[in-house]
């Protein structure tokens, strides 16, 4: 039984898998990581293998505690991966993106796949039908766009993501919603069209914290999967346990 730990910018996501079967998921603050792990170990005593993917700083004492209790794999660019990585600077590639590509390889091994992760940033990652990872793009996420307009101007307010009532905003708030939400939606649709020009059989996966919000507005055909990153981490753990 596997325990998956995804340490993000804001929260830690934990998931329990039995082989490839998803069983349980939780989301906690980093300060509650070890307490939550102990609770999960009590609920699922067969947990033996653990993988950690961290885009944030994981305290050394947490890492040492986990390593003393489990077979621990900490994901990095040096980890054995189930695809060929053509990224020219692999040491700079985020572990979250490695996990997403691994999920695509596992679930769509013979397909061209574009994975869009809509979180703090929006990442676009592409693997071809022969499981070569070719790269992608990184763009500001929804909340980052709102915050940037507030932080770099004198009078624009801080707003939460909201669907614009019309693409022509007739108040400052509505104009900001139109610019941010419609701007990002059209950006994503545009990127998908670019890939489709070269890969007509493209499969598109949308995941991340803002996936549900954005999926309602996208014109392109997509598959939304909020657990895609966790599934990719589980596949990497299984791949390294063979």
Distances (CA, A) of 2 to 52, 71, 104, 185, 226: 11, 10, 19, 36, 19
Is 240 annotated as belonging to a binding site? no
Sheet of 12-18, strands arranged across = 21-28, 12-18, 2-7, 49-54, 71-74
Indicate the burial class of 179 (C-beta count within 10 angstroms; 0-12, 13-18, 19 or more). middle
Q: Does 92 appear as a known binding residue?
A: no
Report helix, strand or coil for 191. Answer: helix
Interstrand relation of 12-18 and 71-74 (parallel, antiparallel or unpaired) = unpaired
Is 204 flagged in the annotation as binding?
no
Residue in 49, 96, 125, 210 annotated catalytic:
96
Q: Would the annotation count 87 as a binding residue?
A: yes
* DSSP single-letter state for residue 158: P
Is 120 annotated to bind a ligand? Reply is yes
Is 6 a known ligand-binding residue? yes
Residue 203 pairs in a beta bridge with 113
Is 96 an annotated catalytic residue?
yes
- Is 96 annotated as a binding-site member? yes
Q: Which two tokens stand for residue 221?
A: 């055909």
Q: Per the annotation, does 85 bind a ligand? A: no
Q: Residue 123 annotated as binding? A: no
Is 179 annotated as belonging to a binding site? no
Annotated binding site for ATP: 6-13, 120
Annotated binding site for K(+): 117
Binding-site members are 6-13, 87, 94-97, 117, 120, 172
Q: Which residues are catalytic?
A: 96
Q: Which residues are annotated as a binding site for substrate?
A: 87, 94-97, 172
């Amino acid at each position: 039984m596997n325990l998956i730990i995804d340490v993000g910018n804001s929260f830690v996501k934990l998931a329990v898998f039995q082989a490839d079967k998803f069983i349980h998921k939780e989301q906690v603050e980093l300060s509650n990581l070890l307490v939550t792990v102990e609770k999960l170990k009590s609920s699922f005593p067969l947990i033996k293998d653990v993988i950690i993917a961290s885009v944030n700083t994981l305290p050394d004492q947490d890492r040492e505690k986990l390593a003393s209790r489990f077979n621990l794999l900490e994901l990095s660019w040096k980890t054995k991966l189930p695809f060929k990585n053509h990224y020219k600077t692999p040491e700079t590639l985020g572990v979250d993106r490695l996990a997403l590509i691994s999920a695509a390889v596992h679930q769509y091994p013979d397909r061209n796949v574009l994975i869009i992760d809509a979180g703090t940033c929006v990442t676009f990652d592409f693997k071809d039908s022969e499981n070569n990872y070719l790269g992608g793009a990184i763009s500001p996420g929804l909340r980052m766009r709102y915050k940037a307009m507030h932080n770099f101007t004198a009078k624009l307010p801080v707003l939460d993501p909201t669907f614009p009532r019309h693409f022509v905003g007739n108040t400052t708030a509505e104009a900001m919603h139109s610019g941010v939400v419609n701007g990002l939606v059209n950006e994503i649709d545009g990127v998908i069209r670019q890939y489709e020009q070269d890969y007509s059989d493209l499969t598109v996966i949308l995941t991340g914290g803002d996936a549900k919000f954005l999926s309602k507005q996208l014109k392109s055909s997509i598959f939304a999967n909020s657990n895609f990153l966790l599934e990719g981490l589980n596949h990497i753990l299984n791949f390294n346990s063979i």
